[in-house]
Chain A
Amino acid sequence: MIGSNAAEAHPVALQHILYAKEVNGAPLIVVDPRFTKLAAKATEYVRIRPGTDTAFLMGLINYIIENDWHDKEFIRTRVAGFEEMRKVAAHYTPEVVEDITGVPKEQLARVAKLLATHRPGTVIWCMGITQHHIGSSNTRACCILQLVLGNMGVSGGGTNIFRGHDNVQGATDVCVLSHSLPAYYGLKEGSWKHWCKVWGVAFEWIKSRFHSKEYMHKKGFTLARWYEGVIQEDKINQYTPIRAVVFWGCASNSQSQYHKLKKALDKLDLVVIIDPFPTTTAAMCEKDNVYLLPSTSQYETEGSVTSSSRQAQWRYKVVDPLYESKTDYEIMEEFVKRFGFADKFYKNIKKVPEDVTREIARGALTIGLCGWLPERIKKHTDNWHTFDIDTLQAKGGPCDGEYYGLPWPCWTETHPGTPILYDISKPVAKGGLPFRARFGTEFTYPDGRKENLLAAPGVANPGSEVRGGYPEFPGWKTDINVIKKAIKRGMAPFGNARARCYCWNFPDPVPVHREPLHSPRPELIQKYPTYPDKPDHYRVYTRFASEQKPELAREFPLVLITGRMVEHMGGGAETRSNKYLAELAPEMYAEINVKVANDYGIRDGEYFWIESPEGGRIKVKAKVTDRVDERTIFLPFHFGGYFMGKSLAANYPEGHVPYALGEPANIVTNYGYDIITQIQATKEGLCRIKKA
């Protein structure tokens, strides 16, 4: 488990992990800069310098290949670009890795051996891997490690990314994001046309809603950087600054450089907050521009939710909405009516939420949500006791043979769901899948080597008409009949290809280490520099190379990381308003090492200031502990209600002040965004501290 503190963030998931450790004798390897509650349960704890995960993972890959522990048959038949990857990985010898990451080479060897001798193994990660400026490289390095070990497409293998809460996966699948239409269709004209057909509206009408056609295909602002669209400290690429913002169940205090976000809040014409609680955002707005719309909790409404294992479940309503709160559906309906396109919006939707689920099923062909009909999902939820807890398959009963929650791709209305992705031991119609043929059939690498990207001959799911690799079926993304035909032939609609270790469409085709923008090791910046600046990165100029200054570490000597605590959730609006949870964790704190505390003369429980290079500063209580090392400070990010030493309690509506208030950690998190996804780099910043 790397970059994940599941013991605090996902305590229920840990049951399965501890079960694997106890019953299967699986070693639990925890890689984290901080000795977390999860590390306390580890067989092997690896303390790593924040922001060096790729170096560590490539080091593992190199060591595994060097010792001939890689799965040669799997690589021969189902992996592409292995040679190119191997050349890059060769740089990361145990000595180099030790220098970059601080992980002793003996430990690297031990971990590699544990991985090689315990197969299949799974890699689990969370924000500790993604929230870096090379977050996308980190995640890919994890996947490549699994490919090299041959741990893909088998029970107990794969990569498992724990999501924040129960429907984050669902939100991702319908792409509540700025760069894609639902189900990862992207923003191309064909994608718009496909969805227009599903929605039953004219493409021209949708087009007329945009400022110009260019903006139909232009990625929007992201959650991490939208405020630049208001304050414009970095140049934006949009015809107008942002004037209004709607927070719909979103905690703004989870975004980095929060003091700049506050500037934006105070500059906007309109801020709408739709939430069961008046959030930290509401208290942060000190201009009279805020509207609070009380929405219901999940227990007062219903609909389908998707888990991180791609399973759907129907969540029934428990109680009717309390007081004047409205469900999200009602709020949306009121908006749509007032905007005047209710006839188009509700063309296919007569009954909420069942018809919404049905519309998703009709449109989301790419990820095979076609089989997710509301009645099927309900049937699974109602009969959950008929499913086997290990295989997830129902034995007898109304869902006989199907997998619980119809894990997508669930290609057709009779498909049982795909419990394990890329598993070629089962027929496609029974939940098997090969790797997707997304990038053509052949590629020429820069060194001239040509490689067939389709799977090797003889490798296919049982019952496949083609015994070997095959390209995707033309038109499968928009036509359900193509999918049905492919399944009938025992083949996957998206083809049967190899998994790529070399992604030519990425800035780093093979993941390489790049020092964090704000690196505590300035001497490594030259050797492992970051990317050049990206002028139009989700409509905003994003600095990389120009932000990476070696001299910064002198003034800001401590590394700053953030994370979760078990008592609170996300922005904490809900949990900090619960008296029992607030009683358990009433105050914001910073974990600092005993040595740092003594050097700065800070005693346990004393207040001190943390300052970021961007000018953010927070006053927090010290928790002197060995959890963090001598260069690192850890902050939980759930708190809100203070701003740079000043209480904002008076800004909450009367009687709605949370029981626990504290400085938002993200006031001091640093500049830094991923090159591809633009996720904020909150796990690799720098800071300095002062006695209060």
Chain B
Amino acid sequence: MARMKFLCDMERCIACHGCVVACKEGHQLPVGINRRRVIIINEGKPGEKSISIACMHCSDAPCIAVCPIGALYQREDGIVLVNKEVCIGCGYCFMACPFGAPQFPRGNAFGARGAMDKCTFCAGGPAPTFSEKERRLYGQNRIAEGKVPLCAGMCSTKALLAGDGAVIADIFRERVARRGSGQAWGWAKAYKE
């Protein structure tokens, strides 16, 4: 079975935020919820680099380990998903995640955190595939449609790769071989293979 992964090629990323907007627009997320972010370092200086990060869908994901009610689970293809109907918004996953992926919308009584929202790899959620409920709670299910996640599909310079880990690792390796340098942040941290 293919193992789904993200990879952001730092030599290619130009911090255009296209991935962020594509994600928000595609899933109709409320303002303030960032399933994906772009981080820039050394801004305006030589050595300026940027990367786009979201949930990395880790092997042995910390969020799954700490979730008190098992709302988080990993699919066979490695995609980590949350069951929003079970999640109680305790926030443990946020505190355990190295990438700051889990997001918590406000809006309940006393402004308490609602159910956790995070990158779904555009694979919807536990609700029936293509159902109205799935779209409302988790957004589109592009994986079931046989498409790549919106962010990677939108990436203007093809810096952000998403898909079968083996395939995108090959693409990246080939690029590195050709240009003699390469940086993909977070890969080693998220996938211990």
Contacts of A18 in B (CB 8 A): 11-12, 157
- CA–CA, A41 to B15, complex, Å? 11
Residue of B nearest to A22 (CB): B179
Contacts of A41 in B (CB 8 A): 11, 14
Write out, one digit per residue, whether chain A residues 387-405 have a CB within 8 A of any chain B CB (1) or not (0): 0000000000000000000
Known contacts A35-B45, A45-B46, A626-B45, A580 near B24 by CB under 8 Å: yes
Contact of A22 with B175 in the complex, beta carbons under 8 Å: yes
Q: Which A1-44 residues have C-beta < 8 A from chain B?
A: 7-8, 11-12, 14-15, 18, 21-23, 25, 35, 37-41
Contact of B21 with A14 in the complex, beta carbons under 8 Å: no
Query: Does B44 count as interface, using CB distance less than 8 angstroms?
Result: yes
Contact of A15 with B43 in the complex, beta carbons under 8 Å: no
Query: Does A549 count as interface, using CB distance less than 8 angstroms?
Result: no
Residue of B nearest to A567 (CB): B17
Min Cβ gap B169→A in Å is 17
Residue of B nearest to A6 (CB): B14
Min Cβ gap B117→A in Å is 15
Contact of B31 with A14 in the complex, beta carbons under 8 Å: no
Contacts of B46 in A (CB 8 A): 35, 45
State which of B15, B43, B158 has its C-beta within 8 Å of the C-beta of A566. Answer: B15
Write out, one digit per residue, whether chain B residues 30-73 have a CB within 8 A of any chain A CB (1) or not (0): 01100000000001111011100000000000000000000000
Contacts of B12 in A (CB 8 A): 18
Contact of B18 with A11 in the complex, beta carbons under 8 Å: yes
Contact of B156 with A15 in the complex, beta carbons under 8 Å: yes
Q: Which B66-103 residues have C-beta < 8 A from chain A?
A: none
Cβ-Cβ contact count across A and B, 8 Å cutoff: 68
Contacts of A37 in B (CB 8 A): 14-16, 48, 50
State which of B17, B31, B48, B50 has its C-beta within 8 Å of the C-beta of A579. Answer: B31
Contact of B14 with A627 in the complex, beta carbons under 8 Å: no
Q: Which A532-574 residues have C-beta < 8 A from chain B?
A: 566-567
- CA–CA, A96 to B46, complex, Å? 27
Contacts of B49 in A (CB 8 A): 40
Contact of B156 with A584 in the complex, beta carbons under 8 Å: no
Contact of B44 with A14 in the complex, beta carbons under 8 Å: no
Residue of A nearest to B30 (CB): A579
**How many residues of chain B are within 8 Å of chain A by beta carbon?**
26
- CA–CA, A7 to B17, complex, Å? 11
Contact of B157 with A580 in the complex, beta carbons under 8 Å: no
Query: Does A677 count as interface, using CB distance less than 8 angstroms?
Result: no
Min Cβ gap B190→A in Å is 25
Min Cβ gap B162→A in Å is 16
Query: Does A583 count as interface, using CB distance less than 8 angstroms?
Result: yes
Contacts of B192 in A (CB 8 A): none
Min Cβ gap A104→B in Å is 15
Query: Does A103 count as interface, using CB distance less than 8 angstroms?
Result: no
- CA–CA, A580 to B43, complex, Å? 22
Contact of B31 with A580 in the complex, beta carbons under 8 Å: yes
Query: Does A581 count as interface, using CB distance less than 8 angstroms?
Result: yes
State which of A21, A40, A583 has its C-beta within 8 Å of the C-beta of B48. Answer: A40
Query: Does B25 count as interface, using CB distance less than 8 angstroms?
Result: yes
State which of B17, B50, B157 has its C-beta within 8 Å of the C-beta of A14. Answer: B157
- CA–CA, A18 to B18, complex, Å? 17
Residue of B nearest to A35 (CB): B44
Contact of A583 with B31 in the complex, beta carbons under 8 Å: yes
Contacts of A23 in B (CB 8 A): 178
Contact of A584 with B18 in the complex, beta carbons under 8 Å: no
Query: Does B150 count as interface, using CB distance less than 8 angstroms?
Result: no
Query: Does B20 count as interface, using CB distance less than 8 angstroms?
Result: yes
Contacts of B21 in A (CB 8 A): 580-581, 584
Known contacts A14-B156, A22-B178, A580-B21, A627 near B16 by CB under 8 Å: no
Contact of B11 with A22 in the complex, beta carbons under 8 Å: yes
Min Cβ gap A45→B in Å is 7
Query: Does A625 count as interface, using CB distance less than 8 angstroms?
Result: yes
Contacts of A581 in B (CB 8 A): 21
User: What are 13 A-B interface contacts by the 8 Å CB criterion?
Assistant: A7-B15, A7-B16, A14-B14, A18-B11, A21-B179, A23-B178, A25-B179, A39-B48, A41-B11, A580-B21, A583-B32, A627-B43, A627-B44
Q: Besides the contacts A8-B14, A22-B175, A580-B31, what 20 more A-B pairs have beta carbons closer than 8 Å? A: A7-B14, A11-B14, A15-B158, A18-B12, A22-B11, A23-B178, A35-B44, A35-B45, A35-B46, A37-B16, A37-B48, A40-B48, A566-B15, A567-B17, A579-B31, A580-B20, A580-B21, A591-B44, A626-B44, A627-B43
| Interface positions of A (Cβ within 8 A of B) | 7-8, 11-12, 14-15, 18, 21-23, 25, 35, 37-41, 45, 566-567, 579-581, 583-584, 591, 625-627
| Interface positions of B (Cβ within 8 A of A) | 11-12, 14-18, 20-21, 24-25, 31-32, 43-46, 48-50, 156-158, 175, 178-179
* Chain A to chain B: the 5 pairs with minimum beta-carbon distance, closest first: A627-B44, A40-B48, A11-B156, A11-B16, A7-B14
